[in-house]
Amino acid sequence: MELEWIETIVKKHEKEKSVARVMAKKCEPAVKKGNNYCSDIVRAKLEVVLGSGKKTTKSVIYKQMPNIGTQRKFIEEYGIFKTEINMYIQTLCQMESIMEDYNDTEEKLWCEMIGHRCYDLLILEDLSVQNYSVIDRVKMMDMDHTLLAVRSLGKFHAVSKALLMKGLASQDVMRPHILYSDERALNLAFVGPLETISEVIATDWGVEWSSMAKRLSTAIGKIVETMLGFNEIDESRLNVINHGDCWMNNILFKYDSRKNPVGLKFVDFQMSHYNTFAFDLTYLVYTSVRPEIRRKDYMKILEAYHESLASNLTRYEILANQIPSLNDVVTEMERLRPYALFISCSHLPIMIAPETNAFDFSKVGEDFSDAKNGYNMSIFNNPFYVEMMKTDLMHFSNAGIL
């Protein structure tokens, strides 16, 4: 069979499937208000004509920089869109090549970026077309979703480590977490909400919680020093490319006919950074796993992560002496327990709030010293959150974190 003939047939087939013309566009919100604070996300349904002449509909996701003054200035100054665009055009592409080099035919753990504009717009594939969906953030993840998520995270970290070992990682990602990089950002991420929750506990949770409110208020003075300390890289630990914002709303799950989760995709790489694997794992476990499951099955969750991490590091030929033991994973998670406290008091109440106005950027000044003004105080009195945190705060206190 002649090569030229095959080439002609294949080109014709691909041309017939490709988009020849976009005839119309209809846009609608892709996420509910309150689910994303660094982007405006829109689903665009396109009426297109294919190369074959057939008319059909394509769906894509527009991820745009918001236009609100303080919010947009913060996003531009800290390069949040630039980080995500560079993750797609450099790091994730290189990670996909690593998978191909090792004959890893499993589905990749992220979606496709179709295109971008520097540095305020991404066009992404619409995963809902492939039957991916997010869970209800108010209900948080059950054990099946949790195990799939941590195993997938273990693989993501392993592939990133293989990339790092080959010296192929972009310098753009080899930096601290954007929100934890300086005192100003830390005011927004942690200081403001901890000031707010301390006040709410003192006034609304009952007199028996007044001492806890004081301890939290005292802890505020240590946040900046503690988090900047966590930014310091110790190469004796397993450092990877962290997703950076790995919580349930940035994970889309796929299900089998019995509604069991069988696959997932990570989205939203605006906070990706280089540091210990425990950043992502702590964030996921404390922001997304149902509290009763987190407490009861904590070791089972870490074991699932470690099993996936270790097996995939071996698959990608990482030397055995660079693969952490389960005890190493547990120890590193324990070292970051203060981080678990901080995110539980700051990010978590926003994430599980029924309200769509949990945080308002327009009420915050440019230096973020008044960040507490942006937080809706009612989210700290959400009954589900209060019940969860009363138990968790006692655990943090008993562990000497407070």
Instruction: Express each pLDDT in 58-87 by its tens digit.
Output: 999 999 999 878 889 999 999 999 999 999
- Provide the pLDDT confidence category of residue 360 given band limits of 50, 70 and 90: confident
CA 351-354-356 angle, 5° bins: 80
Instruction: Express each pLDDT in 270-285 by its tens digit.
Output: 999 999 999 999 999 9
Name residue, tokens 């547990």: 330
Structure letter (DSSP) for residue 6: H
Q: Token pair for residue 10?
A: 């294949």
| Predicted structure pTM score | 0.94
Instruction: Express each pLDDT in 188-228 by its tens digit.
Output: 999 999 999 999 999 999 999 999 999 999 999 999 999 99
Instruction: Express each pLDDT in 283-332 by its tens digit.
Output: 999 999 999 999 999 999 999 999 999 999 999 999 999 999 999 999 99
Instruction: Express each pLDDT in 135-164 by its tens digit.
Output: 999 999 999 999 999 999 999 999 999 999
Q: Token pair for residue 182?
A: 């300086």
Length of the chain counted residue by residue: 402
- The CATH number of the structural domain formed by 132-398 is 3.90.1200
DSSP string for residues in 46-60: EEEEETTS-EEEEEE
- Provide the pLDDT confidence category of residue 107 given band limits of 50, 70 and 90: very high
**Which pLDDT does position 319 carry in this prediction?**
94
DSSP string for residues in 241-270: EE-SS-SGGGEEEEE-TTS-EEEEEE---T
